[in-house]
Amino acid sequence: RWQKIFMFPLWSKMAVFWNKMFLTIIVLLIVLFLDAVREVRKYSSVHVNEKAANVNSSAFDHIQMKLFRSQRNLYLSGFSLFLWLVLRRTVTLLTQLAKEMASHAALETQVNDATEAAKKYMAENEKLQEALSGKGDGKKKESTDATEENLKKEVELLKAELQKTSHALNKAKTEVAAGKKQSEDLRREYNHLMKEFQQLQQNLNKAEDKKDL
């Protein structure tokens, strides 16, 4: 399914545009995050100074509102930046997993073909041996011996190719398992960060409720 989705020719044509768009959004989110950090530091210091100076309540509430907005922008830009990077990494892992699964299927088909060919040659070899046991003509025997030798060489070549393909198949299985494990670790980390984000959002809502009171 992922191979069908991510292997469309349209994606390869949009690859350059997508990379530029991704970098542009990353730069924009970084700028917003840094601006939010600056605003939080600015209004935090002003908030402490105004509270110590015991100014009127309207000015103090205005500063609190500015501080709350800057903190909200900080949370939103920070988590948006992080989630955008997680999304990029998830798409990359899914694409790699789809490629590995496709190569794994191709290797399995190649192994099956090589096995069938080996069985076929072995059956022909047995038939030739049976024919040799029933005939005593010298010339025919020499020619069948040569044919048998050729068949044995071909069988050996097929066995070597089968062993090589089996090694490649085992390697592909290992890579697919590693990709699946990495995807699972990324999913768990994403769920953990989403829980932290929800907890921070609840704390922010509680702080806003207290401020309204």
CA gap 181, 145 in Å, rounded: 53
Length of the chain: 213
- Residue 137 is assigned to a structural domain of this protein: no
CA gap 119, 31 in Å, rounded: 66
Domain count, the chain: 1
pTM of the predicted protein model: 0.45
> What mean pLDDT is reported for the chain?
77
- Residue 168 is assigned to a structural domain of this protein: no
- Residue 142 is assigned to a structural domain of this protein: no
* Residue with the larger pLDDT of the pair 138 and 145: 145
- Residue 57 is assigned to a structural domain of this protein: yes
- Residue 61 is assigned to a structural domain of this protein: yes
* Residue with the larger pLDDT of the pair 43 and 2: 43
Helix (H, G, I), strand (E, B) or coil at 55: coil
- Residue 54: pLDDT over 70: no
The predicted structure's pLDDT at residue 200: 77
- Residue 19 is assigned to a structural domain of this protein: yes
- Residue 27 is assigned to a structural domain of this protein: yes
Rg (CA), the chain: 34
CA gap 167, 106 in Å, rounded: 14
Residue tagged 């002003």 (tokens): 46
CA gap 184, 204 in Å, rounded: 30
- Residue 89 is assigned to a structural domain of this protein: yes
User: What's the pLDDT tens digit per position in 146-169?
Assistant: 777 777 888 788 888 888 887 878
Domain residue limits at 70: 8-102
- Residue 134: pLDDT over 80: no
